């Protein structure tokens, strides 16, 4: 699968045209991990996002598995926005090839094309708002459940 085709499947780049996808691909590189390799650790510096070209990864928090991701999935996208630490540890489950998008290179591509930047950041903003909304709903649900148990 061509890199641009894989990028087009990621929520962040779905609305980009062929030229935009090509430009984003200039910030990407392919990296390979063997089974059980650590891709990054919780609290390490976040400087890139990844898309899974093939293989799978496990997401861990406090030594507990919280998710498994496979081909076409992405992780680490918040690192393209902020300069904070990672919030989980990611390990390859099997031989895994990832598309790595480095924040510095990505920002450079976006700086050269303001419309591309606006499109990408708008999509990312909508995505993060959705995540925040779902988290707020879950917190309200658990708060409500805790209130019922206290009675």
Asked whether the beta carbons of 119 and 34 are under 8 A apart, the reply is: no
Q: Per-residue pLDDT tens, the chain, 151 aa: give them.
A: 788 999 998 888 988 999 999 999 999 999 999 999 999 999 998 999 999 999 999 999 999 999 999 999 999 988 877 878 899 999 999 999 999 999 999 999 999 999 999 999 898 888 888 888 888 888 887 777 776 655 5
| Residue 101: how many other CB atoms lie within 10 Å | 26
The SS3 assignment for 46 reads: coil
Residue 151, pLDDT score: 54
The CATH number that domain 3-150 falls under is 2.60.120.10
What is the structure's pLDDT at 149?
59
Q: What is the pLDDT of residue 109?
A: 95
Q: What is the pLDDT of residue 81?
A: 77
Q: In what order do the strands lie in the sheet with 64-69?
A: 38-40, 89-92, 57-61, 64-69
DSSP SS3 for 74: strand
Query: pTM for the full model?
Result: 0.82
Give the model's pLDDT for residue 146.
73
Closest Cα to residue 58, out of 89, 30, 87? 89
Residue pair 13/87 in contact by the 8 Å Cβ criterion: no
User: What ranges do the domains of the chain cover?
Assistant: 3-150
Given this model, what pLDDT does residue 148 score?
63
HSE toward the beta carbon, residue 31, CA cutoff 13 A: 16
Tokens of 139: 């917190």
């Amino acid at each position: 699968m061509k890199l641009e085709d894989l990028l087009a499947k990621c929520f962040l780049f779905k609305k980009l045209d062929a030229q935009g996808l090509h430009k984003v691909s200039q910030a990407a590189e392919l990296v390979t991990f063997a089974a059980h390799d650590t891709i990054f650790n919780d609290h390490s510096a976040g400087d890139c996002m990844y898309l899974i070209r093939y293989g799978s990864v496990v997401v861990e928090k406090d030594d507990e598995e919280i998710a498994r991701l496979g081909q076409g999935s992405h992780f680490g996208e918040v690192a393209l926005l902020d300069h904070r630490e990672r919030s989980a540890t990611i390990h390859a489950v099997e031989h895994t090839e990832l598309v790595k998008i480095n924040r510095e290179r990505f920002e450079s591509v976006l700086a050269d094309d303001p419309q591309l930047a606006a499109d990408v950041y708008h999509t990312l903003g909508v995505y993060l708002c959705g995540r925040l909304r779902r988290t707020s709903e879950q917190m309200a649900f658990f708060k409500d459940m805790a209130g019922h148990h206290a009675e």
